[in-house]
Amino acid sequence: MYVLTDEQIAFILNDIRRNGIELEELQLDLLDHICCVIETELTPEKNFEEVYRSILSRFYKRSLREIEEETQLLLTFKNYYTMKKIMIISGTFSAFTVLIGSLFKVMHWPGAALLFVMAIALFSFIFLPILSVIRIKEQTKTNDKIVIIAAAIFGSAISLAILFKVMHWPFATLLWTSALAILFFIFLPIYFFGGIRNPETKTNTIVSSILILTAGGLLFLITNLRGSHAFDEAISNADEQLIENYQLLSQYKPNDTLANQLINENATELCANIEALKDQLIKSVNEDVNELKESDVVLLKGHIIEPIQTQLFDKTGIATTGLKTIQLKVKAFEELANTKINWNAQQLKDLPLGYVLRNLNLLLLRIRIVQHTNH
């Protein structure tokens, strides 16, 4: 085995220092490891410096300085690898959960809301905070740390805003506008002016800033500052008008003829069945709320975001028997009144509760109209 001379050992030590290794203990540890490898592989026929350079390159990816940075990080940040593992697991899980939740949402399968909440919660409160902490520990400049913090806050806020929008929860618009404000007035100025001063990052900073500004502008373009209040109010007014028209027609006094009496009795019985079914559906979401009105249930988008297929069409569903009864009586009423209402219980499949109630209200109104026009 080749034995290094004192001059060669000194050369290695000085070169380690020139490569940015400042910690004395780390210098000696590296010197010991490198010397052991060189003495194993070096032969009299080989050039010392060539062998040394080839062996040294095995200790790093970009520069030898990485070893000291990693060492300092581990000394000051003992849970680095644990947090990194949690970050990767939470990020991967949240990404796949968002994709699966989107599929469930498109297919109107139950569980989409739960998947979205889990994914966004993991992403906003675990993945992004851990990622920002790790990146902050790696930075030395204050501006870079502020940029990372601003980016993490923006990512969490925009993710929560989207979740609140999808779930129709309050304060979604506030979260959305706050996230955009952080992007435009905190993150982008600090990132741009900090990066443009460095000649090495100037071009990349300008290009990245243009992309961020464009993406932020597109996000702002789809911002609905008025929220969904106007739409909800319009839907509520339409429902109220529908119910008022039904009630007005219900007060109509038909002529006391045999045909009219049969039509009136059938219409009254059928409307009673429909009202009973509506009460069942409203009570199914009224366990924790006292005296919840139908107009309130219709607007519970976040609470009843899932379709009620299981309630309506499963064998054990609360409305299965009621729908079958209504379907048969609608057909009998059509034959008696010699008309067509064009209603089918299958129209309610995969619809949220609000739309089911509106459909039933429309059926009530059609029945009263047929009852009225047959006198």
Average pLDDT rounded to a whole number, residues 203-232:
79
Which of 217, 211, 104, 113 is CA-nearest to residue 164? 113
Residue 289 has pLDDT above 60, yes or no: no
Residue 117 has pLDDT above 80, yes or no: yes
How much is the pLDDT for 309? 54
Average pLDDT rounded to a whole number, residues 262-291:
79
Long-range contacts of 90-99 (CB under 8 A, 24+ apart): 90/122, 90/123, 90/126, 90/127, 90/130, 91/123, 91/127, 91/131, 93/119, 93/122, 94/118, 94/119, 94/120, 94/122, 94/123, 94/127, 95/119, 95/123, 97/122, 98/123
Percent of all residues in the chain with a pLDDT value above 70, rounded to a whole number: 81
Residue 290 has pLDDT above 60, yes or no: no
Count of beta carbons in the 10 Å neighbourhood of residue 317: 16
CA distance 130 to 135: 9
How much is the pLDDT for 78? 64
Residue 43 has pLDDT above 70, yes or no: yes
Q: Please report, for the chain, the start and end positions of each structural domain, with discontinuous segments joined by +.
A: 6-71, 73-221, 229-373
Concatenated DSSP letters of 147-166:
HHHHHHHHHHHHHHHHHHHH
Please state, rounded to an integer, the average pLDDT across all residues of the chain. 81
How much is the pLDDT for 213? 93
> In this predicted model, what pLDDT tens digit does every residue of 178-211 receive, in sequence order?
999 999 999 999 999 988 988 888 899 999 999 9
How much is the pLDDT for 27? 85
Residue 140 has pLDDT above 70, yes or no: yes
How much is the pLDDT for 291? 62
Residue 83 has pLDDT above 90, yes or no: no
Q: pLDDT tier at 87 (50, 70, 90 boundaries)?
A: very high
Name the more confident of 285 and 155. 155
> In this predicted model, what pLDDT tens digit does every residue of 299-347 receive, in sequence order?
665 444 455 555 566 666 767 778 888 989 999 998 888 888 888 887 7
Q: pLDDT tier at 42 (50, 70, 90 boundaries)?
A: confident
Q: pLDDT tier at 80 (50, 70, 90 boundaries)?
A: confident
How much is the pLDDT for 256? 55
CB 146 within 8 A of CB 342: no
Residue 168 has pLDDT above 70, yes or no: yes
Tell me the whole-structure pTM to 2 decimals. 0.55
CB 278 within 8 A of CB 357: yes
